[in-house]
Chains A and B, each alone.
Chain A
Amino acid sequence: QKEVEQDPGPLSVPEGAIVSLNCTYSNSAFQYFMWYRQYSRKGPELLMYTYSSGNKEDGRFTAQVDKSSKYISLFIRDSQPSDSATYLCAMSARYGGATNKLIFGTGTLLAVQP
């Protein structure tokens, strides 16, 4: 079983729809949770991060973490064609040295149709 599971999609929605992207994980030591966005033929870029449980909102994007269920979500409101990309969840526990040893999900490919 992978440490982080993510539905690969593809997910196709009409412009203006609310999008829900999800990841589950098995390692209860994870405390830092991130969402990266990756456009075609580009490197991933950090979209949002949260620490421990709770919600965080940034414009049209909301990240949710439920540590009791080992489940994280990214919601995109009023989705735009420019949101079409692969979305990767990533998470880590604290390490003594290299605290950026992130574990990534496989990514969900999202297409927003105009």
Chain B
Amino acid sequence: NAGVTQTPKFQVLKTGQSMTLQCAQDMNHEYMSWYRQDPGMGLRLIHYSVGAGITDQGEVPNGYNVSRSTTEDFPLRLLSAAPSQTSVYFCASSYVGSSYNSPLHFGNGTRLTVT
């Protein structure tokens, strides 16, 4: 059971380039989300989805797009990378319901540097 798998582990982009961060989970979780983690800022929610075909914005959505065509996959797209998007990105999933008994399962992150 792989859990939440993120690819790539590391990426360096030039300003203005685009790329997609991949996230896949094999736990049949309805809820999937993307966070970014920056020093002194903690984890901040970018986008989330409560099921295939349903997405919504989190706290810091600007500059990022998402789609959810299957239960398993939730890719995050950077359309035109900026240095401010240098961060560690985490994908997380869970069952939809009370957060009390449905904890988030995190992947191991993608470390992105934009020069």
Contacts and interface: CB of A to CB of B under 8 A. Distances in A.
Tell me whether A and B are bound partners.
yes
Interface of A: 4, 6, 8, 32, 34, 41-46, 49, 51, 88, 90, 92, 94, 97-102, 104-107
Contacts of B98: 32, 94, 99
A98 B54 CA distance: 11
Contacts of B50: 97-98
Interface in B33-85: 33, 35, 40-45, 48, 50, 56, 58
Contacts, number: 71
Please classify the interface of chain A as helix (H, G, I), strand (E, B), loop, or mixed, using the class held by over half of its residues. loop
A101 B103 contact: no
B107 A43 contact: yes
B94 interface: yes
Contacts of B35: 104
Contacts of B45: 101-102
B42 A44 contact: no
A41 B108 contact: yes
Contacts of B56: 97-98
B96 A99 contact: yes
